[in-house]
Amino acid sequence: MANPVPFRRLPAEWEPQSGVQLTFPHAGTDWEPLLDAVLPCFIRIVEVISRFEKVLVVCAGIPATRTLLQQAVADNLILVEAPSNDTWARDHGGITIEENGKWVVWDFVFNGWGLKFPANYDNLITRRLADAQYLNAEHRYPGLILEGGGLESDGQGTLLTTAECLLSPNRNPHLSQEQTAARLRELFGLDRVLWLHHGYLAGDDTDSHIDTLARFCTPDTIAYVRCTDPSDEHYPALRAMEQELQAFRQVNGAPYQLVPLPWPDACYAADGRRLPATYANFLIINGAVLVPTYRVPQDAQALEVLAAVFPDREIIGIDCRVLIEQHGSLHCLTMQYPAGVV
């Protein structure tokens, strides 16, 4: 008799969580020239999350990191010493699914966003956490190259993603779009995959991760970045992305409730490079939503828009201007685990 097909489900981010993982910056990461500037941002994120749930911090040295985080809620702080190349836990962290009523952490291969950056240490972090029993879940290797920033789940069988990222030739070149979708359906128990074929941010090096562009807020609501300036280089691609979102339908055939996020004033690095500022990179945690801000006039409007979308959660702005200097933001730094896992 054949084995029964397991029931699998990829939880939505707004479901109850046990904790959030971060990987702390150190002098051996790309943050080295900006370390003094970026540490306060990391500290602020950890302190805020620790008010609501546990924070699992992977770091280069526990005593020094504990000193930096002395204002965090001590009972909710877990420090784990492990080598790391960088700090983007969303992409090197494990992805948790429910399988037949139990938790499984998928440990996907992380290859530095399609072989752009070294990732040999980052790719081993989930294994180290599992081996040391920090994760109360079965640990498995699905054998795909995949990053958490490329996936958005409604918790009910629908996945939102981008073709630019998941079909990148330096990730899983042996799989077609149809084969990739079939594998995702199998691993995450999906009914369907919604593909965006447009949308990008200048300065982004993830190949258009979905968490920089469009996010599920409820099963029927998607917040997305909208550029309203026809003279902006992003306008054509983001207008095409908006039209794709407008054409998507829920399982019941109804259109999604689409919530446009404000378009921040352009932010630039010292050398003139445009940086990928996006309000879509918010993090939903127990009782709150952490929203990246960039010291631009649109920050206040972004907080107001998301407060209307999440009326039962505290909306907390986090100054993330320094984060985009390394081409990521708040959600990119974090990976949540469902209740019972950490």
| Residue 193 clears pLDDT 90, i.e. is over it | yes
Residues 90-133 pLDDT 10s = 999 999 999 999 999 999 999 999 999 999 999 999 999 999 99
Residues 115-126 pLDDT 10s = 999 999 999 999
Residue 2 pLDDT? 61
Distance, in Å, from the CA atom of 191 to the CA atom of 185, rounded to the nearest integer, reads 7
Alpha helices in 147-292 (DSSP H): 163-166, 177-188, 235-247
Residues 291-326 pLDDT 10s = 999 999 999 999 999 999 999 999 999 999 999 999
Q: Which residues contact 319 (CB under 8 A, 6 or more apart)?
A: 41, 44, 293, 294, 295
Confidence of residue 4 (pLDDT cuts 50, 70, 90): confident
Provide DSSP, 13-36. TTS-EEEEEEE---TTSTTGGGHH
Residues 5-16 pLDDT 10s = 789 999 999 999
Residues 166-177 pLDDT 10s = 999 999 999 999
| Residue 1 clears pLDDT 60, i.e. is over it | no
Average pLDDT for residues 189-218, to the nearest whole number?
Answer: 97
Sheet holding 102-106, edge to edge: 8-9, 95-99, 102-106, 138-140
Domains of the chain: 8-338 (3.75.10.10)
